[in-house]
Amino acid sequence: MSEYIAPLKDIRFAMQSLAGLDQVVALPGCEEASPDVVDAILEEAARFSGEVLSPLNRVGDTSGAKWKDTVVTTSPGWKEAYGQFVDNGWNGLGCDPEFGGQGLPNLISTAVSEMWKAANHAFSLCPMLTQGAIEALMIGGTDAQKVAYLPKLVSGEWTGTMNLTEPSAGSDLAAVRSRAEPVGDGTFKVFGQKIFITYGEHDMTDNIIHLVLARTPNAPEGVKGISLFVVPKFLLNADGTPGQRNDVYCVSIEHKLGIHGSPTAVLAFGDNGGAIGTLVGEENRGLEYMFIMMNAARFNVGLEGLGDAERAYQRAAAYARDRIQGTEVGVKGGPKVPIIKHPDVRRMLMSMRSRIEAMRALAYVTAAAQDNAHANPDESQRKQGQAFADLMIPVVKGWSTESAVDIASLGVQVHGGMGFIEETGAAQHLRDARITTIYEGTTAIQANDLIGRKIAREKGATILALIAEMRAAAAELNGDLAPLGVRQLAAIESLEKAVAWIVANFSADPKAAHAAAVPFLHLFAITAGGWQMGRAAVIARARRSAGDSDPFWPAKLSSARFFADHFLTQVPGLADVVVAGATGALEIDDDSF
């Protein structure tokens, strides 16, 4: 069974040529990210992901996490691997140096995160949740909370969780019923049960810091009455070390379709008198703070989709090179050949490959926009970066994860009957990828956010500015790249049509607009992916014209052409779905389902 090999050449290309790494590392506070430092980080991350995390991926899938009497034991080798992860400083890569982080740009940590997720999706979830806890405490935490928790969270010595979901409160957080009763000195006792808590209990660290949504006694109903609390597994001694066990226990872990190595816990708070917690920020603003974690998590779940897709592609391509079956089409009496010679296998592999390259480019460009939103000295550039990132995060999350499920399914198909056999490993990627379209808000939630908060609320201002940028880029697709330009312009025109319909109908016909939301997300994502693939094609053409004989460049041109011919051609049809497709979904009577 092959192990993951980080696609460093394409990662570097996306970072440097598409996301503008040089501009990002020139931002204030990013001076330490010299070319030598960045190269060393990528090389070592590739080694760690391939040699340490990838071999444990299958172990996690077959062994899984184990629960007994409130104690969770991770898969063999995971605790030791996590110890190496912490010792090597990976957890603090992009964190604030004030609390022990390295302060590197988000673009760099994004590339490294992709490698963790591709090598071992289930393992990568633990540091991902910790990063969300760090973000929430950095923005909403008190000075005392920051001093008590951030150094250990940044180092990875402690891990963090998000506690939103309850048995009766899934995506509808207004239904949260966990309660927090004040006991004085800013301390509360928390009571309730939370479900689907990723790494809510494990044996890899000596403390787990839970961020928990709950209601105080006089809180108003609905989302405006939710507060956020820090509830550690172990209360802290005066010297900051873990002390007395808090009243929060894991009563079970879920038995899941995939990501078996990641313990998904059911946590009970306060069954023995109350779990001690402290308020984060102000009362009744908990959802606001939690969405700090949520937004970062949504982007990172998009990277999970990218990682799962890359891993499924690598496994399928390796199998297609090795599997001998059939003769080559058009060669009478020829020898048996590897299936990679068969046209439909090539079509499937290119369908996987081209989308992965487009997904990677969009994610990295979005990461660079986040860096500019945070650190660019020009206020207008900060605002522009934030607006672009806000627009693209639901797209990166929604499209990358939906594509990952299809790409992993194609990976099974490339294997043929062997893909349905667990020993080949192809099925694991499909099972693991399936959760990503649900995590941190389903695809519909991402799409509703996109058409509502990100487009209709501002009458399409940000996306129309992006469309103008796309159209300018498409003008460079001339000469031998003209067929790509034709496809791209047709997609842009269809996107513009769909945006106009969303802006006109979001308030006037909200049900129709929301029925069109997911098709619109796909339409926008494919067009944006084509924009990036077109930019890549222009660069590849220039490099070849300059005499660069690296096979990377013709392969990039082939990917761009395939994406244009097989995916950009879908966009006009999706625009028709957006404009006219709601009727069939909405007119049928409920009882007819």
Counted residue by residue, the chain has a size of: 593
Cα separations (Å) of 134 from 142, 199, 297? 13, 15, 12
Contact 212, 292 (CB under 8 A): no
Q: What is the DSSP letter of 169?
A: B
Q: Which amino acid is at 242?
A: P
| Separation between Cα atoms, residue 540 and residue 563, nearest integer Å | 15
Structure tokens given for 547: 């005499």
With b for 16 or more beta-carbon neighbours within 10 A and e for fewer, the 335-357 pattern comes to eebbbbbbeebeebbbbbbbbbb
Radius of gyration of the chain (CA): 24
Stretch (H or E) spanning 371: helix 343-375
Structure tokens given for 64: 């899984």
Which position among 114, 135, 283, 440 bears the catalytic label? 440
Is residue 440 part of the annotated active site? The answer reads yes
| Separation between Cα atoms, residue 319 and residue 314, nearest integer Å | 9
Among all chains, which residue has been given the structure tokens 């080694």?
A: 47
The DSSP bridge pattern shows strands 159-163 and 208-214 to be parallel
Among all chains, which residue has been given the structure tokens 């490099």?
A: 543
Structure tokens given for 242: 């873990």
Which ranges of 422-460 does DSSP label H, i.e. alpha helix? 426-433, 443-452
Structure tokens given for 395: 């797209």
Active site residues: 440
